[in-house]
Amino acid sequence: MSWAGPEDIYLSTSLASYLDKKLLVLLRDGRKLMGTLRSFDQFANAVLEGACERVIVGDLYCDIPLGLYVIRGENVVLIGELDLEREELPEHMTRVSTEEIKRAQKAEREASDLKGTMRKRMEFLDFD
């Protein structure tokens, strides 16, 4: 295997054209990481510098700083190049503190758990 030259990295499927760019990495568990791509390989294992997790709950969001992250490729769903010219998120969304987003996350989880138990109890009604 030979190294891609500087002119063909933009034509290939390799992540080389994303090196040193600010990216959004979607993981299989639904998490969204943002950071600068510093290294990668053929499995999409990736090293993100200055990584942070973007937590979104309804119209609230928060970026939790993580530091340097090495991501195992099998967990990667998508790597997107962030267009810094565009608004990152819709206008109606508000940035909140880490504590606040954790509280919102907990409330959302509890609400969906409750929905699950209600559904389970109502199962005898046999609706879909």
- C-beta of 83 vs 126, nearer to other proteins: 83
- C-beta of 93 vs 100, nearer to other proteins: 93
Do residues 35 and 52 make contact, with C-beta atoms less than 8 angstroms apart? yes
Do residues 66 and 53 make contact, with C-beta atoms less than 8 angstroms apart? yes
The Cα 118–Cα 27 span in angstroms is 30
The Cα 29–Cα 66 span in angstroms is 17
In the complex, what is the shortest distance from the CB of residue 80 to other proteins, in angstroms, rounded to a whole number? 3
The Cα 69–Cα 71 span in angstroms is 6
In the complex, what is the shortest distance from the CB of residue 90 to other proteins, in angstroms, rounded to a whole number? 5
- C-beta of 38 vs 54, nearer to other proteins: 54
- C-beta of 86 vs 121, nearer to other proteins: 86
In the complex, what is the shortest distance from the CB of residue 109 to other proteins, in angstroms, rounded to a whole number? 18
Binding interface with other proteins (CB under 8 A) = 11-15, 18, 24, 26, 28, 30, 32, 42, 44, 54, 56, 73-74, 76-84, 86-90, 93
In the complex, what is the shortest distance from the CB of residue 114 to other proteins, in angstroms, rounded to a whole number? 22
N-to-C CA span, the chain: 54
Structure tokens at 21: 């760019």
